[in-house]
A and B are shown apart, each in its own frame.
Chain A
Amino acid sequence: MLVPISWLREYVALPDETEAIAERLAMLGFPVAAIERRPRISGVLTGRIASVEKHPNADRLLVARVDVARENPLTIATAATNVAAGQTIAVATIGARLPQLTIEARTMRGVASQGMMISAEELALSAEWFEDGIMQLDGTIEPGLDAVELFGLETDVIDVEITANRPDSMSIVGLARELAASYGVALTLPSFANPGSAEEPPGESPVVSIESPDCYRFVAQRFAGIAVKPAPAWMRVRLALAGQRPINNLVDVSNYVMLETGQPLHFYDAAMVAGPRFVVRNAREGEKIVTLDGVERTLGKQALVIADEERALGLAGLMGGASSEVTATTTAIVLEAANFNGTRVRRMSAALGLRSEASSRHEKSLAPALTDIGAARAAQLLCELGATAYRPRTFGGEVVASPAIALRVADVERLLGLPIEARRVAAHLAALGCAVGPEKEGTLAVTPPLWRRDLTIPADLIEEVARVEGYERIPAVVPSVPPHEISSAAFELENSIAQTLAALGYREIVTHSLRADDEGDAVEVRNPLSEEHRFLRSSLAPGTIEYLAGIATPARVFEIGQVFRRDGEQIDERTAVAFGFSAGRGDEPPWRDSNFLRLKGDCEALLRAVTGREADILPGTHAALHPGKTGIVRIDEIELGAVGCVDPRLSKAFELPGNAYLCLLNANAIPAYRTPHYRAPSRFPSTYRDLALVVATTVAAREVEHAVSEVLGALCTGVAVFDEYRGPQVERERKSLAVRITLQRFDATITDEEADAAIERVLDAMRERFGATIRA
């Protein structure tokens, strides 16, 4: 909301300059988004044109004599065409400073011109909002007054943000009240007594029938003796400073009152309303209305309209209709100051894609009491413009004060940590318009003002006390946190996975959870921002592969994040871990892949670090991985995920130049860390034997290792397949495995004979189980 500081100063004697006022508002909860500095203007006086004559030497110039309450009128030559004797205008006298120029004495085609009559633009007002040529002032204005002072032109304008709970402060009065309370100075408001008391002529008294519970109150008031013309200059200037375009005296009064009091108003041309009987009702399905912006709109039942007996006249709280609009021929009007259900207005506004200054206030649920205030203020202004005001007629609910809130003074300190006396609490609340009863047994009975519907419980009042006191006065204290039993285990596991992967050389990335691809059971977003982000990821694999494909150089990356799947009506969500790397296509034979082994090593290291246990990795399949290069990762029979080479078809789809290797784990399945127990090594030396076993290619290295351990039992302290060979030196479909077996006794040094005998047993078992032959 644009707020000219000069307008605020009219109601409250602000002891500060603009910057400090903006700061003060921010600390009251109304941040100032921008401060517009108006240019400095001086030397502009009001003047009355005494005469206008043709310039003796120039066809296109006029020469005016302008009374500025000096000894002699000023002679001013002008090229403007809208000047005539008797007009009141603004004159920039010699030496005057305007935003674009400084006025000097000069001779125009032989006539010495003693100043310049000026347009709105020369006062830094929007030219298109005012008449072309010289700005016309009201005839009632005395000549010789300082125009800058008279119109409050030398003011800064601040753009104030107002939170949804404070529609009362979407007004000059509301903000002035806040500042008055905060500075501890008096608030001087115009009277909100309605001057209308006359009874209408028979049959012209407006009647409102409220057929919807979403209209709480409707004040209707008739005004006659209206002449539609431009509003007085002061009002036009003030509206322009507040960002509101002046239209005519009636529209300007309604906008002025809305900005000042916060109550939106609507004026109907009384001649265009049948009755005058108004009905507040739901729109009929398909009902049409042309709104003030000239657009024909088709309504649904959710729209709330103000209608006469024949047709809809306007959209409640949103925008009036063209049919009853005030026009140049209007002579009598009916004012509407109504209160509507904010939610209803908000939904109608959203459904029609139409917003207005009025709806931005109504949708936040205004206080019904504002209707009377708005009508009264409008009546005063219209009477000043010469209208006759009739008695305001009110329909709908009465204005009822909120019930008193019992505020325990001790609770103020309990919640704020700020010691404060009851007297001070009461003073702060009273400054905001609350009625505060005397303290009884540590409790204050506080009745919120009629315009504050947001104050309903003691905590609301405590916030008000804190705001007026100033949040900055509350001392900052570090609390001592009482002991509790809440576990951080899931977070710690995630962090420990991340730290370990970083130590293993992987960089953490964050990618989008919302993707374009649906892998069949993906969860769909009902209202996506774009097709790019329509589905929730069900795996981290696509994002990781896409990332690896998108960067030029090979990289090692990881991501930890949530993945989602449809599970009937439910959404199955889990925390996933993906890590892996891109690699060039090597020249290894199809039965060997050292990149796979590197990734598998990292997978084992990660799981050992975070669980204290050894992972088991056995052949298997995974949708994203190469069918012959996939291992399923388990710990103690619990399946944790898969490790493998990305399926080359998928790599191709993502335009990955080489291969990628990925380990995909379900973090929720990773078991908790189990503290390992130490086993002291044997004091006796060990020995080892290396074997070269030729077995079928289908025999897995791990089966061989298991068989060796099983045959040797405690005698074997280590067995590892450390090489594989396939080629001309062994038969087809067979491979040679190099195995190192470490042998050791805990009670004595193992002898060569014992070791040889043990190896014989191993060889027998290998022949028997795997059809192994021994390679020399």
Chain B
Amino acid sequence: MSDLTEELSRLQARFDRAVEEAGDEAALENVRVAYLGRNGEVTKVRRTIGTLAPQERPGAGKAINDAVAAIEARLEERQSRLQSHAFEEELAASIDVTFPATPSGLGSIHPVRRIVAQSCAYFTRHGFAVVVGPEAEPDYYNFDALNIPSDHPARESFDSFWLTGTMLLRPHTSPMQVRTMQQHAPPIAIVAPGKCYRRDAVDARHLFQFHQVEGLLVAEGIHFGHLKGMLTGLCRELFGSNQSVRFRPSYFPFTEPSAEVDTTCPKCRGTASTCNMCGGSGWIELGGSGMVHPNVLREVGYDPERYSGWAFGFGVERLGLARYEVDDIRRFITSEPDFLRQLS
């Protein structure tokens, strides 16, 4: 029995040294296995109990269990010290967070699509659908069905690219009004974004290929006030909640009454007489709008006595000029990498 006690105290002394020497958790685990493992030193001592006299065995058992408990406590304590030491080391690390990031590799959508998507999202939130259609269209959809007969002077204001005697590249997105109304009975609530073409000389404010967003709402009881409400909301969506919108009388063959739509110049907000965005007027022109002409409704078989509606068409690049304060509209089609990166 005293041999065993001695043996245990020598074992514990060796163990204490081994624990002190274990510099990390892996070394400590090796110590644990060496003492408490299947072939560990404590296990070996326990196996000697069978050689003791029966009356000594309980005392020996207790002594071994006490030793095991002490070893386990010591292991646990050492482990938690090693762990906190490891955390301290890890937490001592410090980097320069201002060092340039690794590029993400994310691409981008073109600013035109961004404006189109945002405008369409506004309208879809209010229950409109978004429709798209062809760019090569017969004159019927571009003109005749829109109350612009063949000898009408307004045809010349849509200076168009002709493909055949009757087909042309659409100079506006309004053909989608006619196409949609011919396919569906009222009510109609659509926006129609898309590319348009006009034979305009290209300069800082003009492109011969540009985008429009068209809108059309036809139902019973639709009036001009609804047009003002929706377009005011659109401008606030695109330019911010302080945006004012102005409707000026104008002339388009397919609407009556007709209106030009202006919004507060987002660059100078009407404060700079030399502003190069609005020319000092404080307003930028967004496009045309108005109540759908009764002749257009009749052409698609709608009863203008019962149904009324409004339509509008805005130039997307024009919106883009104002929104992003772009100096030259041609940048939207040259798509230079730096332009796309800045506006992504």
B188 CB contacts on chain A under 8 angstroms: 484, 486
B205 lies within 8 A of chain A by Cβ: no
B337 CB contacts on chain A under 8 angstroms: 507, 551, 553, 555
A141 lies within 8 A of chain B by Cβ: no
Q: Are B129 and A479 closer than 8 Å at their CB atoms?
A: no
Q: Are A463 and B256 closer than 8 Å at their CB atoms?
A: yes
Place the interface of chain A in its size category. 35 or more
Out of B110, B132, B232, B257, name the residue touching A509 (CB < 8 Å). Answer: B110
B128 CB contacts on chain A under 8 angstroms: 481
Within 8 A of B (CB), among A633-654: none
Cα separation A498 to B132 with both chains bound (whole Å): 15
Within 8 A of A (CB), among B262-300: 291, 293-294
A462 lies within 8 A of chain B by Cβ: yes
Q: Are B187 and A484 closer than 8 Å at their CB atoms?
A: yes
B140 lies within 8 A of chain A by Cβ: no
Q: Are A481 and B333 closer than 8 Å at their CB atoms?
A: no
Within 8 A of B (CB), among A18-35: 26-29, 31
Q: Are A512 and B187 closer than 8 Å at their CB atoms?
A: no
Cα separation A151 to B339 with both chains bound (whole Å): 55
Q: Are A471 and B259 closer than 8 Å at their CB atoms?
A: yes
A342 CB contacts on chain B under 8 angstroms: 153
Interface-lining segment among B26-34, B41-49, B155-163: B155-163
A494 CB contacts on chain B under 8 angstroms: 132
Interface-lining segment among B11-19, B59-67, B90-98, B217-225: B217-225
B120 lies within 8 A of chain A by Cβ: yes
Cα separation A494 to B256 with both chains bound (whole Å): 34
A16 CB → nearest B CB, Å: 17
B161 CB → nearest A CB, Å: 5
Q: Are A466 and B257 closer than 8 Å at their CB atoms?
A: yes
Out of A476, A499, A558, name the residue touching B229 (CB < 8 Å). Answer: A476
Determine which residue in B109, B257, B335 has the highest number of CB atoms from chain A within 10 A of its CB, and name it. B257
Q: Are B195 and A415 closer than 8 Å at their CB atoms?
A: no
A409 CB → nearest B CB, Å: 15
Cα separation A462 to B107 with both chains bound (whole Å): 50
Q: Are B135 and A562 closer than 8 Å at their CB atoms?
A: yes
A477 lies within 8 A of chain B by Cβ: yes
Place the interface of chain B in its size category. 35 or more
If A479-B222, A561-B195 touch, whether A463 touches B257 (CB-CB below 8 Å) is yes
Determine which residue in A462, A463, A564 has the highest number of CB atoms from chain B within 10 A of its CB, and name it. A463
B130 lies within 8 A of chain A by Cβ: yes
B74 lies within 8 A of chain A by Cβ: no
B10 lies within 8 A of chain A by Cβ: no
A327 lies within 8 A of chain B by Cβ: no
| Contact flags B323-335 to A (C-beta < 8 A → 1, else 0) | 0000000001101
Q: Are A571 and B209 closer than 8 Å at their CB atoms?
A: no
B239 lies within 8 A of chain A by Cβ: no
Cα separation A430 to B62 with both chains bound (whole Å): 119
B251 CB → nearest A CB, Å: 4
A483 CB contacts on chain B under 8 angstroms: 127, 187
Q: Are B340 and A507 closer than 8 Å at their CB atoms?
A: yes
Q: Are B107 and A558 closer than 8 Å at their CB atoms?
A: yes
Q: Are A417 and B225 closer than 8 Å at their CB atoms?
A: yes
B78 lies within 8 A of chain A by Cβ: no
B241 lies within 8 A of chain A by Cβ: no
Q: Are A478 and B257 closer than 8 Å at their CB atoms?
A: no
B127 CB contacts on chain A under 8 angstroms: 480-484
Q: Are A486 and B136 closer than 8 Å at their CB atoms?
A: no
Within 8 A of A (CB), among B116-169: 117, 120, 124, 126-132, 134-136, 151, 153-154, 156-157, 161-164, 167, 169
User: Considering only CB atoms, which chain B residue lies closest to A551 in the complex?
Assistant: B337
Interface-lining segment among B1-9, B50-58, B242-250: B242-250
A537 CB → nearest B CB, Å: 11
Q: Are B256 and A460 closer than 8 Å at their CB atoms?
A: yes
Cα separation A495 to B151 with both chains bound (whole Å): 39
Q: Are A481 and B109 closer than 8 Å at their CB atoms?
A: no
Cα separation A29 to B217 with both chains bound (whole Å): 24
Q: Are B154 and A573 closer than 8 Å at their CB atoms?
A: no
B229 CB contacts on chain A under 8 angstroms: 476-479
A346 lies within 8 A of chain B by Cβ: yes
User: Considering only CB atoms, which chain A residue lies closest to B260 in the complex?
Assistant: A31
User: Considering only CB atoms, which chain A residue lies closest to B221 in the complex?
Assistant: A414
Out of A363, A459, A499, name the residue touching B153 (CB < 8 Å). Answer: A363
If A477-B228, A488-B129, A505-B105 touch, whether A526 touches B113 (CB-CB below 8 Å) is no
B108 CB → nearest A CB, Å: 5
Out of A485, A490, A507, A512, name the residue touching B184 (CB < 8 Å). Answer: A485
A164 CB contacts on chain B under 8 angstroms: 153-154, 157, 251
Cα separation A342 to B151 with both chains bound (whole Å): 10
B197 lies within 8 A of chain A by Cβ: yes
A526 CB contacts on chain B under 8 angstroms: 161-164
User: Considering only CB atoms, which chain B residue lies closest to A459 in the complex?
Assistant: B256
A718 lies within 8 A of chain B by Cβ: no
B233 CB contacts on chain A under 8 angstroms: 478
Cα separation A533 to B250 with both chains bound (whole Å): 33
User: Considering only CB atoms, which chain B residue lies closest to A344 in the complex?
Assistant: B151
A655 lies within 8 A of chain B by Cβ: no
B238 lies within 8 A of chain A by Cβ: no
B81 CB contacts on chain A under 8 angstroms: none
A559 CB → nearest B CB, Å: 9
If A509-B340, A529-B208, A562-B134 touch, whether A31 touches B107 (CB-CB below 8 Å) is no
Determine which residue in B135, B225, B258 has the highest number of CB atoms from chain A within 10 A of its CB, and name it. B225
Cα separation A26 to B262 with both chains bound (whole Å): 11
Determine which residue in A28, A480, A509, A524 has the highest number of CB atoms from chain B within 10 A of its CB, and name it. A509
B190 lies within 8 A of chain A by Cβ: yes
User: Considering only CB atoms, which chain B residue lies closest to A508 in the complex?
Assistant: B110
Cα separation A475 to B110 with both chains bound (whole Å): 36
Cα separation A573 to B340 with both chains bound (whole Å): 28
CB<8 Å pairs between A and B, sample of 17: A416-B225, A466-B257, A467-B249, A476-B229, A479-B222, A479-B230, A481-B128, A483-B127, A501-B107, A507-B337, A508-B108, A514-B161, A514-B209, A525-B161, A533-B208, A571-B136, A573-B135
Give the A-binding residues of B (Cβ under 8 A).
105-110, 112-113, 117, 120, 124, 126-132, 134-136, 151, 153-154, 156-157, 161-164, 167, 169, 180, 184, 187-190, 193, 195, 197, 199, 201, 208-209, 217, 219, 221-226, 228-230, 232-233, 245-251, 256-260, 291, 293-294, 308, 332-333, 335-337, 340-341, 344
Give the B-binding residues of A (Cβ under 8 A).
26-29, 31, 163-166, 342-343, 346, 363-364, 413-418, 457, 459-460, 462-463, 466-467, 471-472, 474-488, 490-492, 494-495, 498-499, 501-514, 523-529, 533, 536, 547, 551, 553, 555-556, 558, 561-562, 564, 569, 571, 573, 575
